[in-house]
Chains A and B, each alone.
Chain A
Amino acid sequence: MKPRLKWLGAGAFVALMAVAPLFLNAYQVDVLNSIGLYALLGLSLNLILGEAGLFNMGHAAFYAMGAYTAAILNTRYQIPILWTLPLSGAVAGAFALAVARPVVHLRGDYLLIVTIGVGEIVRIALVNDVFGITGGANGIFGIARPRVFGYVIRRPDQFFYLIWGFVALTIFLFLRLRKSRFGRALNYLREDEVAAEGSGIDTAYYKLAAFGLGAAWAGMAGTLFAAKMTIISPESFSFWESVVLFMIVILGGAGSIAGVLLAAFLVVGLPELFRELSGARMLVFGLVMMVMMVVRPQGLLPARGHRFSWAGPQKGVER
């Protein structure tokens, strides 16, 4: 795609999203809100799975950490829910660092298994009301509505701007991150760990950093989820949630931000369009995963490699 066409497409998408709540009913806006949350989670997983190539299938655990941190702080200490954003991000990130530190050197599919295990342990801990603060299988209810400059955010269209505003901010930051030294280092170690190490990249550090940052972002998405639902329970953070997120990243194209957005629309939005077939949703997912790996393993909108413009030879320099 030509760069100009790309910017045109992105601009049209932003304009369309900005006015979407004016034309859609509350239910449709609510679906868009779910898509926004999954897009956020997908983008945060993309940092770990897509950019750094670390197979993480326990992402729901970090999401849950953020949501529960926000819910506990809000219901017990009456801290306004949006103020808990940085703290829930920090808790999820710190948890991810602690968990990933001993296992991050494991070979791809073993890391996958360990992260599945971590996700399950967190879910079981939540169900068993660990430390007596998670509310057991019923979860936590009565989370206060968020307030922005004195306005209480309550209706789906108000949440729409909160969630998609956060998505826009995330996309901007992650695009910058991708082009930075940090992003390039992650890509390098994904492509060839030995070569990256040989070029002086501290692979363990960068892997951990990717884990921590991705998890922190998932934690903040969890806070928005808690604010939107006002009730959270362990079943929202099951293994299948992690599978769906994994799928969003793989389907869209690992490392591709546009791909993750597209996949979030497809994976979350399409089942809403075909509600009568909702029982077969996971069946189709499974089939798509199998077929995609044969037909188009790089994803729908694969990430392009880094490109650097070269201004040509400097004037006055003989070639």
Chain B
Amino acid sequence: MEEFFQQLTNGLAVGGIYALIALGYTMVYGVLKLINFAHGDLFTYGAYLGLTLLTSLALTDRLGFAAGVLVLALMVMGLVAVLGAILERAAYRPLRQSPRLSAVVSALGASIFLQNTLMLIYGARFQVYPDNILPAATLNVFGLYLPLMRVLIVLASVLMMVALYLFIQKTKIGTAIRAAAIDQDAARLMGIDVNRVIMLVFLVGPALGGIAGLMVGLYYGQINFTMGWVYGMKAFTAAILGGIGNIPGAMVGGLLLGVVEALGAAYISIAWKDAIAFCVLILILIVRPTGLLGERVADKV
């Protein structure tokens, strides 16, 4: 039972990270009907930028742990959001009117480009987050010992998801995003600047992806320039699982996938861990392509 709860909480932490990345996929898909393949690499940029800022600015030494990490997180979110906006301008806006394949290929190209830029800057080896900065404390919750970072990640990701949900559902800008996702032309006629909505989506999505990258760095301690691909694929699976284009769906899908993967790795086979997500992906596309809470994705002729 002890191990089950450890795996469950671990799965929730990883699932929270997947959910944050999945939100970026699902928001972009909702508005542009495009799979942003470069999103996983923006997540990696979050991890690398976090490492660089953490070590070069020594934020946690100057401000203390809590304030330091908070400032760091805000900086990473801002920088990755800017990167996302640049990506949209450079790789996707010129192809707005092109066939779908063109945009998909451009997205893949952007992914490869971003990934290899990181490799040329930082080198191909794993980079390690300094472990003396983070408190190695564990919390005692009803007799279970949980690492502090795990609890913080679950709390932070849930907090951000709730904030995003309120932003999308309750504010005027959120309404504009939802309107543009339903029908761009109608939204334009209602006086919504769709280009600005798209830009906004490419700021919010990458910001969440970037913070997820920082979390992975803080949680696992080591990062690699190719990790965005695996995390991106899994987060995409989470987005499909919940129903792509659907924001609560991405949250549910992410947490669910994280838990399934952690339990699968613990009780089935650790060597097949990465295959579990892909099997879930294929199964869901065959059995219920709309996802748990989502729209239809397969064309019926």
Contact = CB atoms under 8 A, between A and B. Distances in A.
Interface of A: 53, 55, 102-103, 105-110, 112-114, 116-118, 120-121, 124-125, 127-128, 193-194, 197, 203, 239, 243, 246, 250, 279-280, 282-283, 285-290, 292-294, 297
Contacts of B113: 283, 286-287, 290
Contacts of B8: none
Contacts of B35: 109, 112-113
Contact of B289 (A110, A116, A203): A110
Contacts of A114: 281-282, 285
B105 interface: yes
B104 A282 contact: no
A103 B285 contact: yes
B275 interface: yes
B272 interface: yes
Contact of B109 (A108, A279, A288): A288
27 contacts: A103-B285, A103-B286, A106-B289, A106-B298, A108-B104, A110-B240, A110-B289, A110-B298, A113-B35, A113-B233, A114-B285, A117-B233, A117-B282, A118-B278, A120-B275, A121-B279, A125-B275, A193-B301, A283-B120, A288-B109, A289-B108, A290-B109, A293-B95, A293-B98, A293-B106, A294-B94, A294-B95
B271 A128 contact: yes
B281 A283 contact: no
A108, A113, A243, A293, most chain B CB atoms within 10 A: A293
Contacts of B91: 290
Interface string B84-110: 000000110011001111111110111
Contact of A107 (B94, B117, B229, B297): B297
B110 A286 contact: yes
A285 B109 contact: yes
**Binding site secondary structure of chain A:** helix
A120 B278 contact: yes
Contacts of A112: 35, 104
A282 B236 CA distance: 23
Given A113-B236, A124-B274, A286-B109, A105 B298 contact: yes
A279 B91 CA distance: 23
Interface in B216-249: 229, 233, 236, 240
Contacts of B108: 243, 246, 286, 289
Interface in B103-151: 103-106, 108-117, 119-120
B3 interface: no
A286 B119 CA distance: 13
Nearest to A196: B301
A294 B99 CA distance: 11
Nearest to A294: B94
B183 interface: no
A55 B282 contact: no
Nearest to A130: B272
Contacts of A280: 116, 120
B299 interface: yes
A179 B278 CA distance: 37
Given A106-B285, A193-B299, 11 more contacts: A102-B286, A112-B35, A117-B281, A117-B282, A120-B274, A125-B275, A286-B110, A286-B112, A289-B105, A289-B106, A297-B98
Contacts of B282: 103, 114, 117-118, 121
A110 B285 contact: yes
Interface in B263-278: 271-272, 274-275, 278
Nearest to A127: B271
B117 A108 contact: no
A297 B105 CA distance: 10
Contacts of B289: 106, 110
B102 to A, nearest CB: 4
Contacts of A288: 109
Contacts of A292: 105, 109
A125 B102 CA distance: 32
Nearest to B95: A293
Nearest to A107: B299
A203 B299 CA distance: 13
Contacts of B120: 279-280, 283
B35 to A, nearest CB: 5
